[in-house]
Amino acid sequence: MIVIVDYKMGNLGSITNIIKKVGHTSIVSSDIDVISKASKIILPGVGAFDKAMQNLKELNLIEVLNEKAWIQKTPFLGICLGMQLLTKHSEEGNVNGLGYIDASIKKFQLNDFPELKVPHMGWNEVQLPNAHPLCENLPEPSRFYFVHSYHAVCENQANVLMKTRFGYDFDSAIHQDNIMGVQFHPEKSHKFGMQLFKNFIEKC
């Protein structure tokens, strides 16, 4: 059972639709019992880091997510803000993230690139420095749709699945064991996003 976690900050309909396009079904839920039975978990997200963590806490979801991520080792995919929540901390806020991946979230520093504006918005290419089931059958270069002002910085480059250049290279997909996160929106990225969801569901 694929569960898309509803904590009132996600692009839920688009994710449900693309999962259906690749031949699978999913459930959108904030119910602890439903999430506890998931075989795959997707944590979407659009908005502010602190508000997202507050919503997870108010819905009493952090404990069940920790159980699934750390104890049961359930395959777990964070998308955009959902990816950022998987890390330890963000410069956007004052509260800690879930801490599943040894990384932090930094604001783009583009003083040396005056032609570029934040947020980073639109299609951009990704490089694939490390092999991983989530990246199988993705052509190089692959292109994904981004909308964000902050990006991940991994402490260990072995945790980096994809890199993207926006002024400078940043970590655009990250992982640790069963936990994966992508900064872009695969649900808005057509054939590339469909392949990524197919990989997550069938290979991870």
Provide the annotated active-site residues: 80, 185, 187
Q: Report, in this order, helix, strand and coil percent for the chain, each rounded to 5.
A: 30, 30, 35
User: 129 CB contacts (<8 Å, ≥6 apart)?
Assistant: 157, 160, 161, 162, 163
Question: What is the distance between the terminal CA atoms of the chain, rounded to a whole angstrom?
Answer: 14
Q: How many C-beta neighbours within 10 Å does residue 193 have?
A: 25
> What Rg do the C-alpha atoms of the chain give, in angstroms?
16
Whether 173 contacts 162, CB under 8 Å: yes
Is residue 196 classed as helix, strand or coil in its secondary structure? helix
Phi, psi of 61 (to 5 degrees): -100, -15
Structure tokens at 13: 């309909």
Q: How many CA atoms lie within 13 A of 86 on its CB side?
A: 35
Place of tokens 């064991």: 177
